[in-house]
């Protein structure tokens, strides 16, 4: 039986020659990794979701022939987890590779004490150890960490770059995609190659741009977060309905929910045609970004939903 991989998996870059976009940044990164005399031991990959931060870190690890250990800081954000990582980093790889690479995703989730543990590792890293921090929220990374890392700031791709990617993938898949459909995919991708390929896979055989919009709307409607936000943006607050949407969200998804929700609401705010709808979108956004002291992303998101529903009552 033939395995049908998602396009985002099937065409994930395995080297920087196939890494699309950010040419100047990637060229500088390749030079830095290739310089054995002054090669950095810590890398900080920043930028929006879906543009290749973790992929870039994995490629660096491949260039170093390193054994990779990936950590999701959203669920391992405490000092104990980082202390275990530091202890692991003090020892050579048991696989014979001789080099280790720690990739810490969503590093902005780390607690203050966890950052302190990481800082000690960055100040005097063992010769065999490299670290890659990945985040969508650079402003939450302590300055003492930022200044000790080689910063790889990735930006969204240009529409022409998204078009090149989609055209190449469509050709490799043997798909004939109408120009109107392709343009709709490019517009909906908002500069994110991962999003572009996900949409392309769903709409490549659509007969028209209107059909693409319908499919994209349906894709969004099946997303519990989008469904929840659409409900709230309509000014509705029935807890039974909201609870139903929340129950469909997977436990592991809460890390990126606030980011995705924020961007969705900002889009609704910019599209608002009346003062009332703009004010409603702004209130939802204000409730979402209200400062919180908890590192539990689920608790933080649930608190934001509570502020959205009852904050003005």
Each residue's pLDDT tens digit, 129-139:
999 999 988 98
pLDDT of 19 reads 95
> Tens digits of per-residue pLDDT, 260-303?
677 778 777 877 778 888 888 888 888 887 766 656 777 777 88
Average pLDDT over every residue of 154-176: 94
Average pLDDT over every residue of 44-56: 93
- Nearest CA to 230 out of 313, 312, 310, 308 is that of 308
- Which one of 169-173, 201-205, 230-234 scores highest in mean pLDDT? 169-173
37 to 17, 40, 115, 176, 270: CA distances (angstroms): 23, 9, 27, 49, 49
Res. 311: pLDDT tops 90: no
pLDDT of 1 reads 32
Q: Which pLDDT band, with edges at 50, 70 and 90, does 21 fall under?
A: very high
Tell me if 232 sits within 8 A of 308, measured CB to CB: yes
Residue 65, Cα to own-chain centre: how many angstroms?
25
Q: For residues 309 and 182, which has the higher predicted lDDT (pLDDT)?
A: 182
Q: For residues 99 and 312, which has the higher predicted lDDT (pLDDT)?
A: 99
Q: Which pLDDT band, with edges at 50, 70 and 90, does 63 fall under?
A: very high
Could you tell me the residue ranges of all domains in the chain? 22-153, 159-221, 224-310
| Residue percentage of the chain with pLDDT more than 90 | 37
The CATH number of the structural domain formed by 22-153 is 3.40.50.300
Res. 81: pLDDT tops 90: no
The CATH number of the structural domain formed by 159-221 is 1.10.8.60
Average pLDDT over every residue of 162-178: 94
pTM exceeds 0.85:
no
Q: Which pLDDT band, with edges at 50, 70 and 90, does 2 fall under?
A: very low
Q: For residues 32 and 252, which has the higher predicted lDDT (pLDDT)?
A: 32
pLDDT of 242 reads 84
For the chain, how far is it from start to end, CA to CA, in angstroms? 57
């Amino acid at each position: 039986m033939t395995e049908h991989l998602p396009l985002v998996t099937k065409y994930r870059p395995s080297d920087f020659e196939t890494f699309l976009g950010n040419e100047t940044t990637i060229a500088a990164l390749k030079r830095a990794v290739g310089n054995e005399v002054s090669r950095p031991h810590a890398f900080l990959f920043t930028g929006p979701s879906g543009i290749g931060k973790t992929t870039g870190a994995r490629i660096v690890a491949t260039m170093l022939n390193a054994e990779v250990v990936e950590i999701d800081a959203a669920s391992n954000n405490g000092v104990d987890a980082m202390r275990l990582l530091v202890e692991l980093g003090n020892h050579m790889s048991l696989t014979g590779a001789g080099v280790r690479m720690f990739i810490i995703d969503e590093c902005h989730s780390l607690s203050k004490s966890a950052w302190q543990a990481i800082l000690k590792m960055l100040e005097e890293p063992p010769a065999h150890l490299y670290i890659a921090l990945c985040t969508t929220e650079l402003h939450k990374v302590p300055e003492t960490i930022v200044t000790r890392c080689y910063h790889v700031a990735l930006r969204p791709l240009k529409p022409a770059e998204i078009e090149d990617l989609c055209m190449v993938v469509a050709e490799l898949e043997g798909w004939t995609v109408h120009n109107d459909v392709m343009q709709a995919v490019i517009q909906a991708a908002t500069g994110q190659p991962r999003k572009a390929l996900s949409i392309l896979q769903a709409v490549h055989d659509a007969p028209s741009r209107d059909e693409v919009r319908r499919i994209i709307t349906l894709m969004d409607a099946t997303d519990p977060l989008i469904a929840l936000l659409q409900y709230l943006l309509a000014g509705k607050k029935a807890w039974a309905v909201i609870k139903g949407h929340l129950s469909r969200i997977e436990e592991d998804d809460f890390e990126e929910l606030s980011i995705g929700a924020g961007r969705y609401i900002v889009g609704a705010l910019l599209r608002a045609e009346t003062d009332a709808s703009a004010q409603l979108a702004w209130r939802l956004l204000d409730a979402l970004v209200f400062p919180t002291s908890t590192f539990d992303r689920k608790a933080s998101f649930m608190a934001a939903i509570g502020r959205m529903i009852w904050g003005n009552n």
